[in-house]
Amino acid sequence: MSKLVNVKINGILVQVPEGTTILEAAKKLNIVIPTLCYHSDLSIAGNCRVCVVEVKNSKTLQPACAYPVAEGMEIYTNSQTVRQARKHIIELLLSEHDADCTRCYRNGRCELQNLAYEYAATENGNGFIKLINFKNYKKDFSSPSIVKDDTRCVKCQRCVRTCEELQGVSALTVAFKGEHLKISTFFDHPLLNVVCTNCGQCVSHCPTGALIEKTNIDEVLAAIDDPTKFVVVQTAPSTRVALGEWLGLEPGAIVVGKMVKALRLLGFDSVLDTDFSADLTIIEEGHELLNRLKKAILLKEKVALPMFTSCSPGWIKFIEHMYPDMLENLSTCKSPQQMFGAVAKTYYAQKIGVDPKNMVVVSIMPCTAKKFEANRPEMNSSGYQDVDYVLTTRELAKMIKQAGIDFTRLEESEYDSILGKSTGAGVIFGATGGVMEAALRTAYEVVTGKSVPFTNLNIQPVRGLDGIKEATIKIDGTKDEWKFLEGVELKVAIAHGLANAKKLIEAIRAGKVNYHFVEIMACPGGCLAGGGQPIPVDNEIRRKRMTSIYKIDENMPLRKSHENPEIIQLYQEFLKEPNGHLSHELLHTHYTPRKRY
Among 24, 96, 123, 538, binds another protein (CB under 8 A): 96
Is residue 333 part of the annotated active site? The answer reads: no
Active-site entry in 373, 395, 437, 519: 373
Does residue 353 come out as left (phi exceeding 0), alpha (psi in the -120 to 50 range) or beta?
A: left
Nearer to another protein, 58 or 408 (CB): 58
- Asked if 543 interacts with another protein (CB under 8 A), we say no
Nearer to another protein, 49 or 463 (CB): 49
Is residue 311 part of the annotated active site? The answer reads: yes
Among 7, 45, 172, 546, binds another protein (CB under 8 A): 45
Kindly tell me the sign of the dihedral angle through the C-alpha atoms of 342, 345, 346, 348: positive
Contact call for residues 331 and 310 (beta carbons, < 8 A): yes
Q: Per CB under 8 A, which region of 46-54, 102-110, 270-278, 346-354 contacts another protein? A: 46-54
- Asked if 1 interacts with another protein (CB under 8 A), we say no
- Asked if 17 interacts with another protein (CB under 8 A), we say no
Q: In what order do the strands lie in the sheet with 139-140?
A: 139-140, 146-149, 211-213
Instruction: In whole angstroms, give the CA distance from residue 175 to residue 136.
Output: 14
Is residue 288 part of the annotated active site? The answer reads: yes
Active-site entry in 37, 48, 153, 311: 311
Q: Is 265 helix (H, G, I), strand (E, B) or coil?
A: helix
Nearer to another protein, 11 or 127 (CB): 127
Q: How far is the CB of 173 from another protein (least distance, A)?
A: 9
Nearer to another protein, 38 or 444 (CB): 38
- Asked if 558 interacts with another protein (CB under 8 A), we say no
Active-site entry in 91, 288, 437, 445: 288
- Asked if 174 interacts with another protein (CB under 8 A), we say yes
Among 6, 81, 358, 451, binds another protein (CB under 8 A): 81
Instruction: In whole angstroms, give the CA distance from residue 248 to residue 262.
Output: 14
Among 2, 120, 179, 489, binds another protein (CB under 8 A): 179
Q: Per CB under 8 A, which region of 87-95, 190-198, 271-279, 423-431 contacts another protein? A: 87-95
Residue type, 157: Q
- Asked if 42 interacts with another protein (CB under 8 A), we say no
Nearer to another protein, 31 or 82 (CB): 82
Q: How far is the CB of 178 from another protein (least distance, A)?
A: 4
Q: How far is the CB of 211 from another protein (least distance, A)?
A: 18
- Asked if 123 interacts with another protein (CB under 8 A), we say no
Of residues 151-170, those binding another protein (CB under 8 A): 154-155, 157
CB within 8 A of 550, min separation 6: which ones? 428, 431, 458, 463
- Asked if 181 interacts with another protein (CB under 8 A), we say yes
- Asked if 136 interacts with another protein (CB under 8 A), we say no
Instruction: In whole angstroms, give the CA distance from residue 297 to residue 292.
Output: 8
C-alpha gyration radius of the chain: 25
CA 142, chain centre distance (Å): 21
Q: Per CB under 8 A, which region of 93-101, 407-415, 486-494, 561-569 contacts another protein? A: 93-101
Nearer to another protein, 116 or 305 (CB): 116
Q: Which residues pair with 4 in a beta bridge?
A: 17
Is residue 373 part of the annotated active site? The answer reads: yes
Q: Is 269 helix (H, G, I), strand (E, B) or coil?
A: coil
Give the residue ranges of DSSP H helices in 294-422.
313-322, 336-343, 349-352, 369-374, 393-402
For the chain, the farthest-separated pair of C-alpha atoms sits apart, in whole angstroms, at 82
Instruction: In whole angstroms, give the CA distance from residue 187 to residue 216.
Output: 29
Q: How far is the CB of 66 from another protein (least distance, A)?
A: 4
Q: Which pairs count as long-range contacts for 439-444, CB under 8 Å and 24+ apart, including other chains?
A: 439/282, 439/285, 439/286, 439/289, 439/517, 439/519, 440/473, 440/490, 440/492, 441/282, 441/559, 441/560, 441/561, 442/282, 442/283, 442/286, 442/560, 442/561, 442/562, 443/286, 443/289, 443/290, 444/473, 444/475
∠ at Cα 528 (260, 385), nearest 5°?
65
Q: Which residues of 152-186 are buried (b: 16+ CB within 10 A; e: fewer)?
A: bbbbbbbbbbbbbebbbbebbbeeeeeeeeebbbb
- Asked if 299 interacts with another protein (CB under 8 A), we say no
Instruction: In whole angstroms, give the CA distance from residue 374 to residue 499.
Output: 24
Among 31, 64, 93, 419, binds another protein (CB under 8 A): 93
The interface mask with another protein, positions 50-79, x = CB under 8 A, is x-x------xxx-x--xxx-----------
Q: How far is the CB of 25 from another protein (least distance, A)?
A: 15
Is residue 320 part of the annotated active site? The answer reads: no
Of residues 360-399, those binding another protein (CB under 8 A): none
Nearer to another protein, 52 or 263 (CB): 52
Kindly tell me the sign of the dihedral angle through the C-alpha atoms of 173, 177, 182, 186: negative
Q: How far is the CB of 188 from another protein (least distance, A)?
A: 16
Kindly tell me the sign of the dihedral angle through the C-alpha atoms of 168, 171, 172, 174: positive
Is residue 285 part of the annotated active site? The answer reads: yes
Is residue 412 part of the annotated active site? The answer reads: no
- Asked if 216 interacts with another protein (CB under 8 A), we say no
Active-site entry in 527, 544, 548, 566: 527
Where in the sequence numbering do the catalytic residues fall? 285, 288, 311, 331, 370, 373, 378, 527
Interface ranges with another protein (CB under 8 A): 44-50, 52, 59-61, 63, 66-68, 81, 84-85, 88-89, 92-93, 95-96, 126-129, 131, 154-155, 157, 174, 176-181
